[in-house]
Amino acid sequence: MTSYDIVIVGGGPAGLAAAVAARDAGVESILIIERDKELGGILNQCIHNGFGLHTFKEELTGPEYAYRFEEQVLQRKIEYKLDTMVMDISHDKVVTAMNRTDGMFQIRAGAVILAMGCRERPRGALNIPGYRPAGIYSAGTAQRLVNIEGYMPGKEVVILGSGDIGLIMARRMTLEGAKVKVVAELMPFSGGLKRNIVQCLDDYGIPLKLSHTVVDIEGKERVKAVTIAEVGPDMKPIAGTEVRYTCDTLLLSTGLIPENELSRGCGVEMNPVTSGPFVNERLETSIPGVFACGNVLHVHDLVDFVSEEAARAGANAARYVQEGEGAGEAGEEVRLVATDGARYTVPSTIHVNRMDDLLTVRFRVGAVFKDSYVSVYLDDERVQHMKKRIMAPGEMEQVILQKKQLAARPGLKTVTIKIEAQ
Amino acid sequence: MYDVIIIGAGVTGAAAARELSRYKLSVCVLEKEEDVCCGTSKANSAIVHAGFDAETGTLKARFNVRGSEMMEELARDLDIPYKRNGAMVVCIDESGKDGLRELYERGVANGVKDLRILDRQECLAMEPNLSENVVAALYAPTSAIICPFMLNIALAENANVNGVDFFFNTKVEALTPFTCEKCGEPVWKIRTNNGEYRARYVINAAGVYADVLHNMVSEKKIRITPRRGDYCLLDKTAGGHVSHTIFAQPTKMGKGVLVTPTVHGNLLVGPTAVDVEDREGCNTTAEGIDTLIARAGDQVRDLPMRQVITSFAGLRAHEEGGEFIIGEAEDAPHFIDCAGIESPGLSSCPAIGEYIGAMMKEKLGLEEKEDWVGTRKGILDPSALSLEERNELIKKNPAYGRIICRCESVTEGEIIDAIRRPLGARSLDGVKRRTRAGMGRCQAGFCSPRTMEIINRELGLPYEEITKHGRASRLVIGRTKGVEE
């Protein structure tokens, strides 16, 4: 069986940044396994701009952003395999993969970095009633058809869900000559970035109907019409509010789900809130030497944060390989708790004596908060209290923890992040 | 002129076709859809019922019990998945116990083997996730689960290999009897959207349209009402929630909402029962899905309904009399009905086929072919191979090394086989039903563009003509701006 010090599952933005960081930390033997025909992951179909404002201080398209990292991978001569599907990761880090030329093969990995990304929630998972004709696509599938294959899924479009890909596709379809009639969003707030609502809907006069959902799909062969209705506070449609839109296409942008089949098979403990693995301050899962980063860990809003997080995972995996599992006395474990509006934190545990001087903790809120405070408590004492003009579920939030502050409290049990009105 | 024309390529038509393919006889199947298994056969509970439910002495009881006996061997011959997982009819109220006893006795009278009444403790020992309220259950160990698509496809494929012609997108518009000048026998002229066919015998296996065809030729009218059933299919992670098929106690509208593992490892919850007018009206409804969510918990607790990956609806071909109508129409010689084939139709289809075969053999004095092949090799499932075997396969055919559907781990090799084999797939749903590509938790989000690419290459179909399920179900409408062909 061949072995590599680090096997990275996924050659998208997370996998590429992790690989670069691991190599820069001194690990020679690295393999990236990518299932598509090229590196870059989903960025390859995201041909709009707006990527890289944090990382490169300029606005790049998805493929351009991906290429910045691909270049670094190529310059460092990091090995990768394309068109290769990882079939299984065992508890003891044997990776089984398959492709056309090598067949099915196994690799013993010193460390594994999970960077598989996420997938879209399909219509079936939403229990939308109606027929099941052609013309119902998840926004990402439509994006692939338009931007990669060069085919138009339809010409009159209704979009359910205001996730970023749905918003981007509203504009993209419009530019390609389609008529986007409405974007319906079940929640009373959008799941996407504010800037996308402005640039992709408002600029093109596409209405966004919050607290609305699809209650019927007509058409036995191809979509003929979609009926949307307003929902009440119980999320149930309100009778009498139905509006029928004739259309030939329904796009769905109703949420992303981290793609963790391999992680589950491997046996890592999963966080039911994020649908990603629980990780510690090193972005290490419950299995030592198995790390996670990017959208497989929790769905991000900006790729810049994916790259930053993945670089940390890469550096930590390198340290794991170089120092061995026992290195760096783990010491006491502090639990991170998200409550009162904060939905989760990444990481979810911290070993104080192993953490960096500053540790970024990312989280999302569960509703829209205006003029509220993000507070951090070390056990019962509030140590941070930051006013935020607005926080929304579509955008990731962060706090930065200082090692010296945590280390100054021996016996510390929990760090709590909550949203407070005052 | 064909000796026999079968109308309808669902499980009944396909089973009859396969039985008739044993004989020296010219047979064809006319199907209005683009593929086999497009009506009632594609959306049902996927269960081979033991046979205790139907009234003793009915055709339903007779063909169900016989079909259930035949199915295991048939599945082996046709290389399709089948699992005898057993069924439990769960009684959650002391007052239901009499009904359970009745069902037991009916089952015994129908000839169902090994039936047993279980007490509460036995029930919970066998199925820990049964409702707290369970008081007893009827246990039928001979009940089984099967893949209805693969059964239908395999029956048709096998019939085709043995000489039966299939004509798709061919809808029967009129049936006219006349007398053959040569033989003096009654024969049928069949007008379709694709020209005229002639046959000495017509077998009506038209599902929810069987009454329409029957009533074209007979004064003894029958009436089929499409009875819609909504289903929810749950992710494979929920597939182990129960291991047996769990029924509620039956009512006059049907067997109630059941919970069952599928032969592929998902969990299926359904169906509802609503009579509808539209014979193509297989739309799910909010009420239907709500009913399922509300009722599913009656027999089974903690059902993870959040793990639904898709919902769908099927139409049962319910005839007013509530009985299968099988046999030659009284006032229409050489017109043979297989009508009103609702549940337990899937379970009964091998026996119905056998009966039709025997009937035609007697009527026509048929001789068996010497070269009839009753077995068929299914699409290879690489996941059943060892690492070495799999590598050997990929070396021979690299397409088996490329995963197209990642949820169900379907390779390009399987999809190519599904397209190239007899009566091969021509649409996305055709590929899906043959290989399971697109049936997993992402519901074809990932694989549909890739499957389209393979269909385009294999069949030479332009993208604009690739459909989800035939006719106008086109997937894309044309090129984006500025793409040069």
The answer to whether the beta carbons of residues A151 and A172 sit under 8 Å apart is no
What percentage of chain A reaches a pLDDT higher than 90? 94
Helix residue spans in A7-138 (DSSP H): 13-24, 62-75
- Cα Rg of chain A (Å, integer): 22
Whether B251 shows a pLDDT value over 80: the answer reads no
In chain B, whose CA is at the least distance from the CA of A150?
B480
What is the average pLDDT score of chain A? Answer: 96
In angstroms, how far is CA B21 from the centroid of its own chain?
20
Stretch B453-482: mean pLDDT: 96
pLDDT in tens, B169-198: 999 999 999 998 888 889 999 999 999 999
pLDDT band at B327 (very low <50, low <70, confident <90, very high): very high
> What are the pLDDT digits (tens) for B331-365?
999 999 999 999 999 999 999 999 999 999 999 99
Q: Which two tokens stand for residue B27?
A: 């047979």
User: Token pair of B344, please?
Assistant: 């337990």
Q: Cis peptide before B344, with omega less than 30 degrees from 0? A: yes
Neighbours of A322 (CB within 10 A): 14
Tally C-beta pairs within 8 A across A and B: 140
Q: Is the pLDDT of residue A231 over 70?
A: yes
B57, two tokens: 């002495």
Question: CA dihedral in degrees (B53, B58, B60, B61; nearest 10)?
Answer: 50
Q: In terms of DSSP bridges, do strands B27-30 and B2-7 run parallel, antiparallel, or are they unpaired?
A: parallel
The better pLDDT of the pair B424, B256 is held by B424
CATH numbers and ranges of domains, chain B: 2-40+149-224+322-364 (3.50.50.60), 84-144+225-319 (3.30.9.10), 382-465 (1.10.10)
Q: Which of A109, A108, A100, A62 is nearest to A81 (CA)?
A: A100
ipTM of this complex prediction, to 2 decimal places: 0.95
Per-residue pLDDT at B253 exceeds 70: no
Largest CA distance in chain A: 67
Identify the pLDDT of residue B483.
80
**pLDDT (average), residues B422-430:** 98
Position A335 scores a pLDDT of: 97
DSSP readout, A228-282?
Answer: EEEB-TTSPBPTT--EEEE-SEEEE---EEE--HHHHHHT--EETTTTEE---TT
User: What integer is the mean pLDDT of A300-325?
Assistant: 95
Dihedral sign computed on CA atoms, order A108, A111, A115, A119? positive
* pLDDT at res. A325: 67
Token pair for residue B337?
A: 């009905």
Give dist(CA B161, CA B164) in Å, integer. 7
pTM: 0.95
Which residues, including other chains, have CB under 8 Å from residue B256's CB and lie 6 or more apart? B247, B248, B249, B250, B295
How far is CA A9 from each of CA A17, A95, A97, B179, B423, rounded to the nearest angstrom?
12, 9, 10, 71, 39
Question: CB contact, 8 Å: B384 with chain A?
Answer: no
How far is C-alpha A385 from the chain's CA centre?
Answer: 27
B380 min Cα distance to partner chain A (Å): 16
- Residue B484 — pLDDT band, cuts 50, 70, 90? low
Percent of chain B topping pLDDT 90: 94
Yes or no: say if B341 and B348 are a contact pair by the CB < 8 Å rule: yes
Which pLDDT score is estimated for B65? 98
Chain A residues within 8 A of B477 when measuring between CB atoms? 152-155, 248
Q: Is the pLDDT of residue A332 over 90?
A: no
Chain B residues within an 8 Å CB radius of A157: none
Assess whether the previous peptide bond of B271 is cis (omega < 30° from 0).
Answer: yes
> Mean pLDDT across the stretch A320-339?
83
Mean pLDDT is lowest, of A100-109, B290-299, B313-322, for: B290-299
Question: What CA–CA distance (Å, rounded) separates B215 from A197?
Answer: 58
Identify the pLDDT of residue A331: 74
Phi, psi of A276 (to 5 degrees): -115, 175
Read off the pLDDT of each residue in B251-260 and give the average, rounded to a whole number.
80
Q: How confident is the model at residue A268 (pLDDT cuts 50, 70, 90)?
A: very high
- State the nearest Cα–Cα gap between A140 and chain B, in angstroms: 8
Burial class (CB in 10 A: 0-12, 13-18, 19+), B293: middle
Coil, strand, or helix at residue B458?
A: helix
| Confidence label for A89 from pLDDT (cuts 50, 70 and 90) | very high
- B402–A83: do the CB atoms touch at under 8 Å? yes
pLDDT tens per residue across span B72-117: 999 999 999 999 999 999 999 998 999 999 999 999 999 999 999 9
User: How far apart are the CA of B304 and the nearest CA of chain A, in angstroms?
Assistant: 12
The answer to whether the CB atoms of B391 and A120 lie below 8 A apart is no
Interatomic CA distance for residues A180 and A156, integer angstroms: 6
- d(Cα B231, Cα B288) in Å, to the nearest integer? 8
Q: With an 8 Å Cβ cutoff, are A150 and B288 in contact?
A: no
